[in-house]
Copies of this chain bind each other. A is one copy, B any other.
Amino acid sequence: MSQYQPPLKDVSFLLKHVFDFDRHAQQCGFGVDSDTALFIAEEAGKFASERIDSINRSADTEGVRLEGSTVITATGFKETYRAFSEGGWNGLRFPEEYGGQGLSAVISTVVDEMWHAASISFALCPMLTNGAVEALLTAADDDVKSMFLEKLICGEWTGTMNLTEPGAGSDLAAIQTKATRQADGTYRIKGQKIFITYGDHDLTDNVIHLVLARTSDAPPGVKGISLFVVPKYLVNPDGSVGNRNGVHCASIEHKLGIHASPTAVMLFGEEKEAVGYLVGEENRGLEYMFVMMNEARFSVGLQGLSISARAYQHALAYSQERIQGKAVADDGSHGKTIIRHPDVRRQLLSMKSKVDAMRAFAVYLAVQKDIAHSDSMTGHARENAQCRMEFLIPVFKAWLTENAQHVTYDALQIFGGMGFIEETGAAQYYRDARILTIYEGTTAIQANDLVGRKTIRDEGRTALMLIESMEHSACELREESDASGRALSSQMIEGCAALRRVGEWILGKHASAPREVYAGAVPYAELWGTVFGGWMHVLRLQAVLRTGNRKESLHATALAAEFYSEHILARTSALVSAIMHGGASSLGFPETEWLN
C-alpha cells in the first residue's frame, strides 16, 4: 500500500488562487489567514497519513465484533481515536463557547477530506458526532446543551443518528419508535433502530444517541416525529458518567464495505427503561433533522471526494511502479511502467479531472456555508449563499458519491488482476465507496429533492442564478485563454443552455406529468453535477491564468480541463435526452413483462 499523500498542493492552490481565502476569511470575520489554514491542513494531513491511513487496511480485515452488547473496534482504533480527540481535531468548526475552535468551514472541509481519505470507517465516528452536535446546537435547550455539548465537541463522547427502522428507511413518515412523556419532563423511548453507524463501540465512555420517535399523541406522518437524546450511560449532575441507560446494541451487520465501522441494530427500552431528553419542541424532530441532514449530506459528498482522491493516488503510485508490456508507439521516454500505456493514462486523467472538480466543489460549498452563517455579511449576501448551498447540496451528495463509484472502479482496474486481491487495497476502496450513494439519502432521494424542493419550489430562481454565474465565468474564460480554454468555455455554454432547457421543461411539465419529471430526476442531478464540475475547471483555469503560475502547472490545469470537456461535459446531450424523453418508457412498462 502506498502511504496517503494529503493534497496540500491543491488545497493551497484552491485557497490562495481560486477562492481567495484571505479575503473570504476577513469578510466573514474569521481570525485566520490562508497560511494558518494551510498549516492546520498540513498538520491534519500528517495525522491522517501516519495515524489513520496506516491502520485502514488492517482494520478492514479485522473488522468489528460484538461481545455481549459491546462492540469492540479494530486494533489501533482506540489509541488513534484518543490521539485524534486529544489533538483537538474534533471541534474545529464548532463555537468556542462549547470548547470548539470556531474555524471557517473551508478549513474543516479540507481537513475532513483528509480523515475520510485516510479511512472512511474511522472518520465516520467523528462525522456522526458532529451531526449530533449540529442538531443540539440548532434545537436543544440549555439544559440538554450543557449536559452533552462540550463532551461531544471535544470528542470525549461520541454521537449517533438513530433514524432508520426496518419499515422506515427512505420514508421517515413510517417511523414507529415510541416516546412517552414522564412527570419529570423526560421521556421513555421504546423501539428498534437499524443501520446505526457507531451505535456502540469501545472508543469512549459514553455514546449519545439522537433518536427520532413519536410521542403518544403525535399526529401521523412526518409531522408527528420528535427528536430525543438518549445517552448510553445517564449523566450525573456533575457531568460524570452515571448508570447504564436502557439502550443497547442487539447485533451488528455483515457488510460489503466499511468493515471497521460498526453498523448496529439498537434496541431502546427493551429490558430496561430508556431515558430520553426531548430536543427542542415535540413534533418538530424532522425539521431539526433536516439541519443535520444537510450537514451529513455534505459530509457524505465529501467522502465521495476523499475516497476518490485516495484511490486515485493509490492507483497512480502503482502505475508508476508496475512494469508490464510494451506500450503502443512508445519512444521509451517514460520508462517501462504501465503509466506509458495510453489507456492507463486515460483512466488516470479521468480520475484526476473528476477529483479536481470535486475538491473545488467542496471548497465552493464551504465558502457559501461560511457566508451564510457569518454575522459580518449582509443579509442579502447570506441569503444568496444559503440559497446556493441548499440548491447544491443534493447535487454535491449525488454527483460526488456517484463519481466515487467510477473513480474507485477505474483505480481497481489499473491494478488488473492484483486489484481483485484484497491485500492490494484497491478492492477496499471500491467496497467502501459503495455505501456512499445509499446512506444519508440515496442518489434518487437527492435527485428528487433537487427537482422538487430545490428547482420547482422557487420556480427555478436559484437554478437560474447559478446558471448565470456559470455562464459569466465561461464567457470570461473565452476572453482570457487560448484554444483549450475556449473549447471548455463553449462546452460550458452548451451545458448551461442544456440546464436552462431542462429546467424550463421541468417547470412546465411537473404539474401535468409529475411522474415523467421525476423519472428524469437522477439524470437531472447528474447533468447539474457535470456542468457544475465544468465550472470548477473554469475557475481553476482562470486562477492559474491570472496568477501566472509556472508553465507545467498551467499546462496540467488546461489538460485536465480539456479532458473533462471532451469526456465528461460531452455527455450533456445524452443526459438531456434521458431527462426529457427517457421517462415514458419505464413509467408505461407493462407489469407482466418485467420478467423474461
Contact = CB atoms under 8 A, between A and B. Distances in A.
B413 A438 contact: yes
Given A409-B405, A515-B328, A578-B570, A254 B10 contact: no
A342 B164 contact: no
Stoichiometry (number of copies):
2
Interface string A229-269: 00000000000000000000000011111000000000000
Contact of A443 (B341, B413, B417, B574): B413
Contact of A552 (B521, B552, B581, B590): B590
A374 interface: no
Interface in A422-476: 422-423, 427, 430-431, 434-435, 437-439, 442-444, 447-448
A352 B169 CA distance: 26
Interface in A546-596: 552-553, 555-556, 559-560, 562-563, 566-567, 570-571, 573-574, 577-578, 581-596
**Could you say which of A346, A359, A578 has the most chain B C-beta atoms within 10 Å of its C-beta?**
A346
A336 to B, nearest CB: 11
5 contacts: A195-B417, A256-B430, A343-B447, A352-B596, A413-B438
B559 A570 contact: no
A578 B566 contact: yes
Question: Per DSSP, are chain A's interface residues mostly helix, strand or loop, or mixed?
Answer: helix
A518 B328 contact: yes
A306 interface: no
Interface of A: 5, 7, 9-10, 164, 167, 169-171, 173-174, 194-195, 253-257, 309, 313, 316, 320, 323-330, 334, 341-346, 348-350, 352, 355-356, 359, 405, 409, 412-413, 416-417, 419-423, 427, 430-431, 434-435, 437-439, 442-444, 447-448, 514-516, 518-519, 521-523, 552-553, 555-556, 559-560, 562-563, 566-567, 570-571, 573-574, 577-578, 581-596
Most B CB within 10 A of own CB, among A169, A405, A430, A439: A169
